[in-house]
A and B are shown apart, each in its own frame.
Chain A
Amino acid sequence: MKPDDKKNAKVFNPKIVVNKNMKDHSDDPFFAKKAEASKKTIEKYGLPKQLLTSKK
């Protein structure tokens, strides 16, 4: 990673703390609906091939 890239990336340095007791929203229909909508779009267009094959 280039030094400039590292500096640029740090702009978004996340302030995230894990909370073991956080309310879980995985059953919220909203998220299921959004995932379903994404499937329809991706079935139509596929995923970017470059991301499926690129190596990190």
Chain B
Amino acid sequence: MNLEQYSTEASPDFMEYTFYSDGPKGTIKKVVRFTKAHFLTFIYYNLGFGDWNDNLNKIDDFVVSNNQDAERVLATVAATVIGFTNQYPDALVYAEGSTRSRTRRYQMGMNKYWKNIGSIFEVYVLVENEGFKPFERNRNYIAFVVKRKFSNFNQ
């Protein structure tokens, strides 16, 4: 079984991805970007994800597009993390929802597909006032960090 996802375009350096959500609210361009950042001597990549707003000519991650395809969109974003880490297998990817409800949505996706996600990634979740902990189902968190367990599906 493959999860339904949107076809995605990547930039040549695999740092940025775009795809189009299609639903009752029309076609909405989604942009995912992995931004390189530093903490002490370590490098990590922040996963940024939002809707392209043609009127404002900028990304907007607070908009709730409500295109009734949340699971397909999340599966597509998850696929971009795989696409990115295929190219940068040692990368640490940090992700935090722009709102609590969005983080909660990520959490639900992680709970539902943990068997699959946990096969690909080491996952640590950030629990408020506690710090990073190994992922546990049904625990609330404010962000997460993932790292690939292996670099290629063909291994």
Binding site for B on A (CB under 8 A): 1, 4-6, 8-20, 22-26, 28-32, 34-35, 37-39, 41-43, 45-48, 50-52, 54, 56
Contacts and interface: CB of A to CB of B under 8 A. Distances in A.
Q: Is the interface of A mostly helix, strand, loop or mixed?
A: helix
A19 B11 contact: yes
Contacts, number: 168
A10 B131 contact: no
Interface of B: 1-3, 5-12, 14-18, 31, 33, 35, 37, 39, 42, 44, 46, 48, 50, 52, 58-61, 75, 78-80, 82-83, 86, 89-90, 92, 94, 96, 98, 113, 115-120, 122, 124, 126, 131-132, 134, 142-143, 145, 147-151, 153, 155
A47 to B, nearest CB: 6
Given A10-B2, A10-B153, A12-B3, A24 B16 contact: yes
B75 A12 contact: yes
